[in-house]
Structure formats: C-alpha cells, structure tokens
Amino acid sequence: MTGRANRVRRAAPVGLLLLVAALALALLVGCGSGSSTVIFKDKAEEQGTSATEADSSTEAGGSTESNEVGEPLPEVAIETAAPGFDAARIYEEAVPGVVTIRSVFGSAGGAEGSGFVLDANGEIVTNAHVVTDESSGSRKPASEVFVEFENRNVLEAKIVGFDPFADVALLKVEPAGFPLHPLQLGDDESLAVGEPVAAIGSPFGEQRSLSVGVVSATDRSVKSLTQFQIEGAIQTDASINPGNSGGPLLEANAKVVGINQQIETNSGANDGVGFAVPISLIEHSVEQLREDGHAEYAYIGVSTQPLYPQLAEKLGLDTEFGALIATVVPGGPAAKAGLRGGDGTLRFQAAEYETGGDTIVEVEGEEVTEPDSLIRLIDEKVPGEKIKLTILRDNKRQDVEVTLGKRPDAIEPE
C-alpha cells in the first residue's frame, strides 16, 4: 500500500498501516470539518437576546430586531448545509452499519481500515487495499481479517474476493446470532456538485469518526491498484485520512453513494481533496465477486485523448467531440480490428496531442462526448462481446466491429 505518483500531487490509498500507526498519530492531525448554523451570536447577546430566542422569533414571524433609530435590521440567514441535511441523524442511522477492519499479513505486518455492512447475511464491503498486500510484487490477500462492529463485537471474516480495478473487496462474517445493520445504497449518478455528504470511518484508528463536507466534483479519474484508472470517482472536501479506506460516503438520506478510497496530497495528510469509488461501480464489482470471487472488465486496448471543438477545428476534423486514438496496444482487440493510433504530435493550447490516428465518435450508436465516455461505454460491456465503433478516418466516417478482450492486470511495454 505505497503512495502512487501522480505528477505534482500524490494519490494515496487511505488504509492505515498498523506498524506505523503510532508515528502517524504523532505527526499527522486530522482536520475534521463540522456543519453548523451561525446566527450572529455576538450580536444577539449584545442586545440581550439569546441566539435561540432570536432564531425562534424569526421562524414564528415575530418582530425583527431594530437599530438605535427604530429601523428594522435586515434579516440574515447563514446556512452551511442544504435543507434536510442533518449530520447527527445521518450518523445515528448509519454508524451501526459501519465497521473497523483489521488485516494480518504475517511477517509483513498488518493494516487497518473501514467498511460497511451490505446485508443481514454478513456481507461486508471495503477497499481491496485494506485486505490485500502488494509489497511482494504481487497482490496477496491477508492471512487473517477481523471486523469490529459498533457494539465492539469482533468477528473473523472470510475474503470472498477482491477487485483491484475498482479497489473493492467483499468480505463475509457469520453473525453468530446477533443482528447486523445493513446500510442502504444510494445513486451516485444523481449526485450534484455542492451536495452535502458525510463520511464515517476509522481515521488514524479513531473508530466511528464523522466528517462532513460537500461533493466538490464528480466523474473524476483516480488511481486503482492497477495501471488502469477508476472512472466516475466522487471528489469531496469531507475530511478523509488514513484509516477511512472502505468506509461509506453518505448522502442526506444516509444512503451510501461511494466508499472512501484515497486522497491527493503533497504532504501525506488530508489536504481537503478526497475521492470515493462510486456505488454504481461497487455494485457491479460486488455482483461478480459474489459469483466468482473475482471481477472481469472488458478491454479494447487503446489509449485516447478527448477531442473538443477548438481542437477539432485545429485538426480539420468533421466532428466536435470524440476520442483521439493516441496508441493501439499491439495484439489487443483494437489492433486486431485494424484501428490506428497516432503517428504525429501537435502542441496546442499548452497541451500535446497524438495526431494522425483514428477518432472514435460513437460506441454502439452512442456518441462519445465526454472525456470518460469511451471508458464508461466499454466498462458496460463484457469480455468477448462484439461492439460496433463509428470512427473518423481520413475525415470519413466508417463502422468497425471490435471483439472486446479481458482487461489485463498490466499492459506489457512494447
């Protein structure tokens, strides 16, 4: 579970290594952010009115405060959360279903993270990097995994399977007679930037900790445990730190919209930018893990760059959007279908583009209009499926059939 280079910033999975927990606690201080309503308490007290009284008077439609000459003061309402977002209620509803996970890797040490109860039969969801270790060069599951619940009961868990592409793991415990508290799943596709969210987990080993914030962006691409990116990740300013990995990110109705996975940081601490794997991808992963113990994803074997109107005009292309094929993996599905990568370069608007290759404009009739459209559309397919791509080659449209392959753990260099 090492840090991953990401140009200037460092993308760090936020599982917590037990062997360095004491050092982390000594050097790093979590900065949880709270949500509150501010009613100019100092002003109310100076006029002999408590903040509570001033608030209730306004709500009841009573008289407003006046200045020294009897003119009414303007009403000011300051809200730090959207109407209906009650962090205390969300915590009360969700915390019984949030767990702390401890993994043992033999002589390699251990790790600690978070997770949540998926169903009453004992299924637990967490991040793959919480229950696996890659220090030997290949990813290996923990020799033992223990799950601690809110009531401090601890049960040993079996790793049903893990998915390094989505950084998701499915665990199973035997409830042994005591009831579990499954969390309800929400809809990440309906999330809006600015929507308040809450994260619950065990940052730095501090169990059942709550932090709140907002969705600061959606549809982000972040590091997985492979060479491939996790698409559609949720970005949040809710405080996420080592130990939060695998814990739920919750919306206003206490439904899970993602699991907290990593932070991007220069210092190694939480700098206000955290990321969660979207629940739609988690559900897709868990369904496969439950059936087969592993997850497979379709693979086309190209690297692309997003096209936009100004760049299309510069290149003289008869389209405004699409995916410029930069490289084609030798021997991959795209190469077998005859797709072409770029053979030249263009520096435009402070970026460099591979030019001269095919441009993918549609997948099965659906237009490629967003930077992640191609990946999203391919991820919806299964290995072995035949798909029709509409491409632009020499500025003429043509259809190409591609038989998708199975995504490899790594791409061998040419």
Q: Which positions ≥6 away from 246 have C-beta within 8 Å?
A: 15, 101, 113, 114, 115, 116, 125, 126, 127, 130, 169, 201, 259, 260, 261
In angstroms, rounded to a whole number, what is the distance separating the alpha carbons of residues 85 and 197?
8
Report the amino acid identity of residue 60: A
Reduced to 3 states, what is the DSSP secondary structure of residue 287?
A: helix
Determine if residue 343 is left, alpha or beta; phi over 0 gives left, psi from -120 to 50 gives alpha, anything else beta. alpha
Beta-ladder partners of 367: 362
Annotated active-site residue 129? The verdict is: yes
In angstroms, rounded to a whole number, what is the distance separating the alpha carbons of residues 250 and 95?
11
In angstroms, rounded to a whole number, what is the distance separating the alpha carbons of residues 276 and 259?
5
DSSP state for residue 346 in the 8-state scheme = E
In angstroms, rounded to a whole number, what is the distance separating the alpha carbons of residues 278 and 282?
6
CA atoms within 13 Å, Cβ hemisphere of 89: 8
Selecting among 35, 209, 224, 245, the annotated active-site residue is 245
* Structure-block tokens of residue 288: 């496969």
C-alpha closest to that of 183 among 167, 200, 195: 200
Nearest 5°: the CA angle 47, 48, 53 is 105
* Structure-block tokens of residue 115: 């997770």
Annotated active-site residue 181? The verdict is: no
Selecting among 103, 114, 129, 237, the annotated active-site residue is 129
In angstroms, rounded to a whole number, what is the distance separating the alpha carbons of residues 141 and 133?
6
Annotated active-site residue 284? The verdict is: no
Selecting among 35, 133, 163, 167, the annotated active-site residue is 167
What number of other Cβ atoms are within 10 A of residue 384's Cβ? 11
Strand locations in 62-131, DSSP E? Answer: 98-104, 110-117, 123-126
C-alpha closest to that of 126 among 240, 257, 260: 260
Distances (CA, A) of 243 to 20, 51, 115, 126, 199: 12, 38, 10, 11, 12
Report the amino acid identity of residue 127: N
Q: Which residues are catalytic?
A: 129, 167, 245
